[in-house]
Structure 1
Amino acid sequence: MADDPEDGFWLYDLRIETVLDGRTPVCRHIEGEAFRMQGETLVFEAGQRVSAYALAALLPLLPAKQRTTDPNDWMSTDAEIACPDPHCGGRFRIIREGKRHFSHAATTGLPDARKAPYWQEGET
């Protein structure tokens, strides 16, 4: 099964962008700062930052947002997550961008199904 080219799955790339709701943020949130999630990797552009506490609140939701969900599922329709500080006006907009295909053999830890990790594909 590990050699089957159809043995894979699709994940959305995500852009997570800071937005403010008009209130002065309590935490360090700068409107427009953003990072991306591509596969399992968080990608930050030079100078972009995110609060560790906000990131801790976001992390459990990101893998679910990467997957295809029913159009009526709240995971498909709700795109903004509030900062975990109830006094803060910061929010994080999760935007689904393009999709990437991952093979099971390149992402599994199961020894009998494993191949080169996906980030090493194409390297010589």
Structure 2
Amino acid sequence: MADDSEEAGFWLYDLRVETVLDGRTPVCRHVEGESFRVVGENLMFGAEQKVSMYALAGLIPLLPAKQRDTAPGDWMSTDAEVACPDPHCGGRFRIVREERRWFSHAETTGMPDARGTPYWKGQA
């Protein structure tokens, strides 16, 4: 695996986003324990896992920031739950950082003079 000293690139955390109710009543269709993962730029849903598109619209802007390294006292490092955007809904989404992955700049950039083989073409 490459690191910062060998090649230009960056680390991203894989994320698991899980629905939590903790006794609260949802208004929207939220089922305790349903989840999806974020790996690189991809949202990965398991069989029969569902997430409200309205809730997802509220989560999407936070996910890239949650993937990146942040200072220990930054709220992005310390706060893990995000409320459903419906103010009457008790649904929450817990965003958990998991494994860190290295992404080569050459495998992820669109700049023609810096392009390499896209990272997803090297995956099985």
For residue 112 of structure 1, give the secondary structure of its aligned residue in structure 2.
helix
Contact 1:5–1:103 (8 Å) recurs in 2 = no
Deviations 1:40-70 (A, max 9, x none): 0000000100000000000000000000000
Task: Extract unaligned runs of 5+ from structure 2.
Answer: none
* Alpha-carbon separation, structure 1, partners of 2:111 and 2:56: 29
Contact 1:10–1:67 (8 Å) recurs in 2 = yes
For residue 59 of structure 1, give the secondary structure of its aligned residue in structure 2.
helix
The residue correspondences of 1:1-124 to structure 2 (distance < 5 A) are 5-121=6-122
Q: Structure 1-normalised TM-score? A: 0.93
Q: CA deviation at 1:17?
A: 0.1
Q: Structure 2-normalised TM-score? A: 0.93
Which is helix-richer, 1 or 2?
Answer: 2
Aligned residues between the structures: 120
Letter in 2 for 1:31: E
Task: Extract unaligned runs of 5+ from structure 1.
Answer: none
Contact 1:15–1:34 (8 Å) recurs in 2 = yes
The RMSD of aligned alpha carbons is 1.3
* Alpha-carbon separation, structure 2, partners of 1:122 and 1:26: 39
Q: CA deviation at 1:88?
A: 0.3
Q: CA deviation at 1:7?
A: 1.1
Distance 1:61 1:122, change over 3 A: closer
Deviations 1:59-114 (A, max 9, x none): 00000000000000000000000000000000000000000100000000000001
Letter in 1 for 2:85: P
Letter in 2 for 1:42: L
